[in-house]
Amino acid sequence: MGILLITHNMGVVAQHADRVVVLRNGNVVETDTAHSLFDAPEHAYTRALLAAVPRLPEHASTTVAEKPAGDVVLELDKVGVTYPARRGTAAFRAVDSVDLTVHAGEVVGLVGESGSGKSTLGRVAIGLVQATSGRVSVEGQDLSSISATRLRTLRRDVAFVQQDPATSLDPRLSVGASVREPLDVHSVGTPAERRKRVLDLFDAVRLPAALTDRFPHQLSGGQRQRVALARALALAPRLLIADEPTSALDVSVQAEVLDLFAEIQRELGFACLFISHDLAVVHQVADRVVVLQSGVIVETGPVDTVFTSPREPYTRALIDAVPVPDPARRRHHAALAV
C-alpha cells in the first residue's frame, strides 16, 4: 500500500518515510529521499525544522540546579478516579492511589502512554472530574469541601489548557473574545485595557493580531492551540494545568512556543502540571517528571535523572519508543507493553 503520511513529527518521518516533501506557506520548498533530506537538507527552512526537533539527551547534564521548593500549590493525596458504568459498559478505574505535589514556580511533567490517565489527572486537579477516593487540594483548599464563593476566587488562580482546543474553545465566540472572556468575567481593568491585553497575549504566543476576529474553525490546529494557551495565561495564573499544549504545533513553532512558555513561566513564576506524550518536550520544560502507567505512578524524579537513567523498565520502554529523527537509526520497536 502506498502511504501519504502528513505529520510535523520529524522522528516519525525519519522512521517511516522513503521520500519527503517539505511544505511551507502552501509551497513545496524541498523534496528528497528521507536519507539525503536528513543528511544534507538544502533549504534553510528544512534546516531550521530539523534544528528545532527537541531531543532527549543521552547523558545526564552535570550542571542541574535544583529549584528551591516553594509552597505546595497542588496536592493530590491517594487520588483515585473510577468512571461509572453506563449502559452496558463496565465501570473503569482510570487512576489509582496517586500522590503528586506541585510547588510554587515548579513545572512538573506528566508522561505515560495513551490511555494511562494523564488527562484524567489533569481534570481532577482542576475539579472538572471528581476524585472517587483520596483528596485534591489547590493552595491548601480541599476541592471537595470548598465553598462556591471560595471556588470562584480559586478559579482565577488556576488555568487549564485542554488537550483538544477544537472542542474546548467556544465556537460562537471569535478567538479574540475567547481570550478576553476571563478578563471580562473577573472585571480586570477597563474595556480598553482588556482589548490591549488581548493583543499583548496574541503577540506573546506569536499570533498575528489580524486573527482576533476569526472563529475557532477558521484557524489551523496549531493556531487554536496557541489561542488556548493565550486564554489560559490571561489572568496570570498561579497554577497552570497544560494538557498536551503543543501537540498540534510543528517543531519550529513548537520550539518558539516552548521558549516563550519558559520565559512567561519564569516571569510569572506559576506552578505547572505539564502533560505530554513527548518526552523530549517534557525534558525541555519540566523540572520534575512523573511517569504514569495504567493509572498508577511508576516513577518520579528530576527530568535529567529519570530520562537518562530510568529505574523502571516501563520508563525505559517509553524512552526507547521515542522516534529518532535520523533515518539511519530506523528500527523496529518492541511493543510497549512490559
Ligand X SMILES: Nc1ncnc2c1ncn2[C@@H]1O[C@H](COP(=O)(O)OP(=O)(O)OP(=O)(O)O)[C@@H](O)[C@H]1O
Q: Which residues on neighbouring strands pair with residue 54, listed in sequence order? A: none
Least distance (Å) between residue 299 CB and ligand X: 16
Between 114 and 145, name the residue whose CB sits nearer to ligand X: 114
Residue 162, interface with Mg ion (CB under 5 A)? no
Determine the size of the site formed for ligand X (CB under 6 A).
Answer: 13
| Cα(216)–Cα(223) distance, integer angstroms | 9
Q: Which residue lies nearer to ligand X by CB, 114 or 190?
A: 114
What DSSP letter does each residue of 109-172 carry, written as one string? EEE-STTSSHHHHHHHHHTSS--SEEEEEETTEETTT--HHHHHHHHHHEEEE-S-HHHHS-TT
Cβ distance to ligand X smaller for residue 86 or 332: 86
Quote the least distance from Cβ 162 to Mg ion, whole Å.
Answer: 9
Q: Which is nearer to ligand X, 102 or 129 (CB)?
A: 129
Q: Does 83 bind ligand X (CB under 6 A)?
A: yes
The contact mask relative to ligand X for 86-105 (x = CB under 6 A, - = no) is ------x-x-----------
Of the candidates 15, 46, 119, 225, which one interacts with Mg ion according to CB under 5 A?
119
Q: Which does 114 bind (CB under 5 to 8 A by kind): ligand X, Mg ion, none?
A: ligand X
Strand, helix or coil for residue 212: helix
Q: How far apart are CA 163 and CA 24, in angstroms?
A: 26
In the complex with ligand X, which residue's Cβ is closer, 183 or 285? 285
- List CB contacts of 298: < 8 A, sequence separation 6 or more: 291, 292, 312, 314, 315
Task: Output 46 or 120, the one with its CB closest to ligand X.
Answer: 120
CA atoms within 13 A on the CB side of 114: 2
- List the single partner that 70 binds among ligand X, Mg ion, none, CB under 5 to 8 Å by kind: none
- 283 binding partner (options Mg ion, ligand X, none; Cβ < 5 to 8 Å by kind): none
Q: How far is the CB of 118 from Mg ion (least distance, A)?
A: 5
Task: Find the binding residues for ligand X in span 159-178 (CB under 6 A).
Answer: 163
Considering only residues 253-292, where is the footprint of ligand X by CB under 6 A?
277
* Residue 246 binds ligand X, judged by CB under 6 A: no
- 188-197 burial by CB neighbour count: b if 16+ within 10 A, else e? beeeeebeeb
Q: How far is CA 96 from CA 108, 109, 200, 296, in A?
A: 19, 18, 41, 6
Q: How, if at all, do strands 133-138 and 72-83 pair? A: antiparallel
Interacting residues with ligand X between 105 and 144 (CB under 6 A):
112, 114-120
337 close to 116: Cβ distance less than 8 angstroms: no
Q: How far is the CB of 309 from Mg ion (least distance, A)?
A: 27
| Backbone phi, psi, residue 283, to 5° | -60, -40
* Binding segment toward Mg ion, per CB under 5 A, in 103-111, 118-126, 259-267, 300-308: 118-126
Give, in order, the Cα–Cα distances in Å from 321 to each of 106, 118, 278, 280, 318.
Answer: 27, 18, 10, 12, 5
**Rule CB under 6 A: which residues touch ligand X?**
83, 92, 94, 112, 114-120, 163, 277
List of residues contacting Mg ion (CB under 5 A): 118-119, 163
